[in-house]
Amino acid sequence: MLTPGRGESPHMKLDLRKLAIADKKSALIGGIIAAALLVAAYAGLAWYLADTDESTGARAASEGDGPHAKAPSKPSSASGQSLELSPQEFAKFKVEPVQEHDFKIQREAVGNIDFNQEMSVQVFTPFPGRIISLFAKAGDDVQKGAILFTIDSPDLLDAESKLISTSGSLNVTTRALDRAKQLYEVQGTSQKDLDQAAADQQTAEGALRAARDALRIFGKTDAEMDRVVSERKVDSVLAVHSPISGRITARNAAPGLFVQPGNAPAPYTVSDISSVWMLASVPETDFPFLQLGEEVAVDVKAYPGRLFRGTIVNIGASVDLNTRRVLVRSEIRDPKHELRPGMFATFLIRTNKTTRSPAVPFAGVVREGDGSMTVWVATEGTRLVRRTVKVGLQQEGLDQIVEGLTPGERVATDGALFLSNALTAASR
């Protein structure tokens, strides 16, 4: 039976003993978890190294390898940053010499999408009048020649009335000329009267031609003008048509609104949306890399992972004094009409200049937990050493190695992540 010391109660002794037991259990559980993580890391690397070829498995059995023959070797304790593999394990990794690659120098710029203003038309009425009806709304796609709206035009009424009157005058003068010719043949009139009748008839013909030309400005066809003359009926309704095929990008029209030619805002705006503009502010330090006609790739946040292609069509003539940037306009091809004005976008400008640097495939570079980038370099024998490098551009499946590697060194170009995981677990 335990005897409590002076100043100690039996309950205090029991609590201390429970705490000691709990600490031992926690230490045991922690050891089990650490061992499990180590086993998992080795299992992952072993899975990567596993050979699915049955003939290879038979060959390993004939050589006397046990069921754990493909398990990775333990990390070398000499450096703490290397792994010593068996020849069979080493053969499973793709180890290649570092090659040099020409990386294109690129510049990024932020901007937004806008309509191609060179392919946008503000549609005004050719004559003043009040709007009667509207046939399109904002966002509609229209074809060239489609009716957008109609107006009640007093000018059209006057022009049609003049056509009717000039047509009547021509008929009168023509009949008068015919009578004058008949009378002149029987000496019933003088040469002066005949000449005057011919002049009146020619004046009437000219007035009729002018009246028909005036109606053509209103968009009337010859058949419509002939019908006005034959029916002696005028119509003051003037239809305004779309001058191009495209999308209605703005509508400021309403029934009853009085409109005039060139009076802003235009009742309608029609834009050809087969291409759009990308407006970006480029730092003046990147100005030497800009060239008209240079191809750009546009990344729009609304479509992640996709790139739209275009070309630079305009470079600003001056630098903004406050931002020290140049406005660059690119024309972006959008055949499916997916881009919308106001969308936030980033475009990538690829210059004609290149830089030649060591390159490693993406699978050969590992981003570690602290943010550093590492590769596995093959040294003597079957040893792989982890080395920290500095990565630059990423193009065509390759990472540009700015610092840490030289051409000709042999690196693991595939499976580097498994090696890093195994080394990290083993070091715990």
* pLDDT tens per residue, range 13-30: 434 344 344 445 554 555
pLDDT at residue 425 in the model: 66
Which of 235, 215, 218, 238 has the alpha carbon at shortest distance from 149? 238
CA 274 – CA 246 distance, rounded (Å): 8
Rg, C-alpha atoms of the chain = 44
Q: List domains and CATH numbers for the chain.
A: 109-117+272-352 (2.40.30.170), 120-147+247-271 (no CATH), 154-235 (1.10.287)
Q: Are 245 and 285 in contact (CB under 8 A)?
A: no
The pLDDT, as a whole number, for residue 335 is 83
Contact of 420 with 386, CB cutoff 8 Å:
yes
In this prediction, residue 60 carries a pLDDT of 33
Cα–Cα dist 376/422, whole Å: 13
Residue with tokens 């495209």: 246
Q: Please check whether residue 95 is in contact with residue 412, taking contact to mean a CB–CB distance below 8 angstroms.
A: yes
pLDDT of residue 31: 53
> Per-residue confidence of the chain (428 residues) as pLDDT tens digits?
334 444 444 443 434 344 344 445 554 555 555 555 444 545 554 545 454 333 333 333 333 343 333 444 445 433 458 788 778 878 778 888 998 988 877 778 888 999 888 888 999 988 899 999 999 998 899 999 899 999 998 888 888 899 888 988 888 899 888 888 888 888 877 888 888 888 988 999 899 999 999 888 887 888 888 888 888 888 888 889 999 998 998 999 999 999 988 888 999 999 988 889 989 888 888 887 788 888 888 888 888 878 888 889 999 888 988 988 889 999 998 888 888 888 988 888 766 677 888 999 988 898 888 888 999 898 888 888 889 999 988 878 888 899 989 898 989 888 778 787 777 766 66
Residue 41: which residues within 8 A CB-CB, separation 6 or more? 421, 422, 424, 425, 426
* Element holding 203 (H helix, E strand): helix 191-217
Residue 150: predicted pLDDT: 92
Q: What is the pLDDT of residue 29?
A: 53
Whether the model pTM is above 0.75: no
- Output the CA torsion sign for 144, 145, 149, 154: positive
What is the per-residue pLDDT for 219? 79
